[in-house]
Amino acid sequence: MTADPTWNGVALDAATALALLDWQREMGVDEPMLDAPVDRFAEPIREAGAEIARQPAAVPPTAAPPPPPGQAPGADAAQMAARAGTLAELAAAQQAHEGLDIRKGARSFVFADGNPAARVLVLGEAPGEEEDRQGRPFVGRAGQLLDQMFAAIGLSRTAPDPDAALYIFNVLPWRPPGNRRPEQAEIDAMLPFVARHVELAAPEIVVLLGNAAAQAALGQQGILRLRGQWTTAFGRPALPMTHPAYLLRNPVAKREAWADLLSLKVRLMQGQPAQP
């Protein structure tokens, strides 16, 4: 029989230990840590039976030259985004952009999903663990709720008809480590790509999901105050809404989200939406 695991010196039964692990996964922990940091670069590695010293990683031949003195890394985002004439060109330009460190820790570049011809564009925050794994936005638990919410008003990312379709992307195309919130500098760095993305998709309405989207599009946070109030973002009518991840944690807020969805449905039924 194996001894029960302990946590901070307290013995845990197996069910509690599993529940703690689940909770840590939910919080974005994706790697076990030790009490003291380990310098993996200083460790010898074994290859084909021989112990060899780890060599510094080679600089990839495609690495961009360092920015000129005085120019922040990634300051070329506006030019790169403006030069893109199609969504495919924009995706290539954004993926090649080297201004954000989070790209180094992410598995996938998560550009967009759905129908680019959709009347409604949904702007989210950043990929999470599942999105990073699959390379598509909103495919985890929050994404499933998002699909259900919009299905309730007849919209889906798989619909070929622009009237019934959704197009979805995030402010950040790379997963921030541990699912932390995007930093202001990261939002600022990606803003030219976000704005160009909206311009190229040319939706009738933009839905801003959560604080990061509101910050990027409106320069404001406080989604609980902003939600449900039609405004203008990227030159188009925009509706801020609470993020589905928030709704998963606060199911009572679904009532207000439902009211916002109905407001969106009414606006779509009115045809060409009036300017806010």
Contact footprint for ligand URA (CB under 6 A):
124-128, 131, 137-138, 140, 142-143, 170, 245
Q: In this complex, which beta carbon is closest to ligand URA, that of residue 138 or of residue 167?
A: 138
CB of 138 to ligand URA, least distance (A): 4
CB of 276 to ligand URA, least distance (A): 24
87-96 and 184-201 helices, crossing angle to 10°: 160
Instruction: Please provide the DSSP assignment of 27-85 as one string.
Output: TT--S---SS---GGGS-EEETTEEEPPPPPPPPTTPPPPPPTTPPTTTTHHHHHHH--
CB of 127 to ligand URA, least distance (A): 5
Contact 165, 159 (CB under 8 A): yes
Q: In this complex, which beta carbon is closest to ligand URA, that of residue 44 or of residue 222?
A: 222
Q: In this complex, which beta carbon is closest to ligand URA, that of residue 16 or of residue 134?
A: 134
In a 13 Å sphere around the CA of 249, the CA atoms on its Cβ side amount to 7
Q: In this complex, which beta carbon is closest to ligand URA, that of residue 76 or of residue 130?
A: 130
CB of 184 to ligand URA, least distance (A): 16
Q: Which helix or strand (DSSP H or E) is residue 231 part of? A: strand 231-233
Amino acid present at 35: D
Contacts of 187 (CB under 8 A, 6+ apart): 171, 172, 212, 215, 216
CB of 188 to ligand URA, least distance (A): 18
Q: In this complex, which beta carbon is closest to ligand URA, that of residue 138 or of residue 234?
A: 138
170 burial level (CB within 10 Å; 0-12, 13-18, 19+): buried
* Per-residue tokens: 33: 């840590």
CB of 189 to ligand URA, least distance (A): 17
Q: In this complex, which beta carbon is closest to ligand URA, that of residue 146 or of residue 268?
A: 146
CB atoms near residue 189 (< 10 Å)? 20
CA torsion sign for 22, 27, 28, 34 is negative
Q: In this complex, which beta carbon is closest to ligand URA, that of residue 127 or of residue 203?
A: 127
